[in-house]
Amino acid sequence: MPYETAIHLLDKGAVMAECGPMRLVISSFIGKNAQREMNVKAAKVSFGIFERTARFQDLLRAVHESVPRDLEEPVAAKMISSVISMGEPDLTPMAAVAGTIADSVADFLFDAGMTRVIVNNGGDIAIRLKEGASVAVGIRDDLRKESFSHVLSLDSIEPSWGIATSGLGGRSLTRGIASAACIIARDASVADAAATVVGNAACVEDESLIRRDAVEMDPYTDLGRMKVTESIGELSEEKKQEAIRRGMKRARELMERKMIFGAFLSVQGRVEMTGFFRERMNC
């Protein structure tokens, strides 16, 4: 089915690409010079990527163990690969959709000669940096707040970075209670899936915790009748720490397998982060 599309010109050469539910903010540079024309081209490319991926949405909304491994559409195939790498059988490829689309658009621009690329798909961010380039990324310790609590500095020690955040108040449903579970990986596809996994793991039982069937909160969700978190009251410091411990345990498992570089986890104002974030963070 055709989707309505629009391209909006933003400050500093950036553009916003809208296609159905997708909202991409695209920025690219050669040196210090913003490349608006290339950003517009990338926006048009993103429409095709989204529409091709949408053709497989029925398959991609199923748990990954039931999805064919031989899909020819590269974005759909990457979504499946990223989710499989998490090792969670009840995760669907949709857990990586936003990050994977951001990666595809960022790669288009990077391959076209841009030296710094930032593609933000609703908070799932793909970054590409040529030698000598750097970027600062705002991090929120509570997804329900608009302001950034921290700033993460990245440079071209890696040409490709992906950052994604999950938690209560985010665009997607969660089984956990994290105010924010932020992951950095080599690409946004893996970061997206990992943020979902770590956010889900950051959970404790509490009498104030309210869970509902996912489909009751979002009739279009891929999670069906899986129980997800609707809300939770103020927790004791012990329970906050236990939720963080569980989330960070899952993050460190992914780090040990070289799936992610690091994690930043917040529960109701209590924050813990791995060394990668501590070394590169400005508060």
**63 — pLDDT class (breaks 50, 70, 90):** low
Beta strands in the chain (DSSP E): 5-9, 15-19, 22-30, 33-34, 116-121, 124-129, 134-139, 150-155, 160-166, 180-185, 210-213, 227-231, 262-267, 270-273, 281-282
pLDDT at 225: 73
Q: How far apart are CA 158 and CA 139, in angstroms?
A: 19
Average pLDDT score over the chain? 93
**59 — pLDDT class (breaks 50, 70, 90):** confident
pLDDT at 99: 98
pLDDT at 103: 99
Over 60: is that where the pLDDT of 64 sits? no
The domains located in the chain, with CATH, are 5-282 (3.10.520.10)
Percent of the chain with pLDDT strictly greater than 90: 80
Output phi, psi for 211, to 5 deg.
-115, 150
End-to-end CA distance of the chain: 45
250-269 confidence digits (pLDDT tens): 999 999 999 999 999 999 99
Output phi, psi for 265, to 5 deg.
-130, 130
**68 — pLDDT class (breaks 50, 70, 90):** low
180-234 confidence digits (pLDDT tens): 999 999 999 999 999 999 999 999 999 999 988 877 867 777 667 778 888 899 9
130-156 confidence digits (pLDDT tens): 999 999 999 999 999 999 999 999 999
Q: Identify the residue with better confidence: 60 or 272.
A: 272
Say if CB 39 and CB 15 are below 8 A apart. Answer: yes
pLDDT at 61: 80
Say if CB 166 and CB 198 are below 8 A apart. Answer: yes
Over 80: is that where the pLDDT of 77 sits? yes
Provide mean pLDDT across the span 159-172.
Answer: 93
